[in-house]
Amino acid sequence: MLLNAATGVPEAGAAGLFASFLPIILMIVVFYFIIIRPQRKREKENREMLASLTVGDNITTIGGICGKIVAIREDVITVEVGVDKVKLVFERWAVRSVDKITAD
């Protein structure tokens, strides 16, 4: 063990420095695989879903409104809801999911 001549404190070598940063490095790796990576995957899937919206898709909005897309203009979609076929206009980002409705 080497002592610093001026202070008398042991000098940390490369191994000691690495050992002191190892827990921090491990925490960053764990956060990446548990939090950051899955969040990026969900964001990518959501962007792909929003980009693939087409007229005729049945959707659910983040507000819980279910309907059928009747028009799409850039970032605005028009949705037809209910028996009265009321048309509502939403921003594209307000779509939560595209519903798969099967015919009986």
Pull the structure tokens for residue 88: 């509502």
In this structure, what DSSP letter does residue 10 have?
A: B
- 8 A C-beta contact, residue 57 and residue 68: yes
pLDDT for the residue numbered 25: 92
pLDDT for the residue numbered 102: 55
> Any idea where the domains of the chain sit in the sequence?
1-52, 54-99
> pLDDT (tens digit, 0 to 9) for every residue of the chain, 104 residues total?
455 555 555 555 777 787 888 999 999 999 999 999 999 999 999 999 999 999 999 999 999 999 999 999 999 999 999 999 999 999 999 999 999 875 54
Q: b/e string for 61-92 if b means 16 or more Cβ within 10 A?
A: beeeeebbbeeeeeeebbbeeeeeeeeeebee
In this structure, what DSSP letter does residue 14 have?
A: H
- Taking the domain 54-99, which CATH number applies? 2.30.30
pLDDT for the residue numbered 53: 93
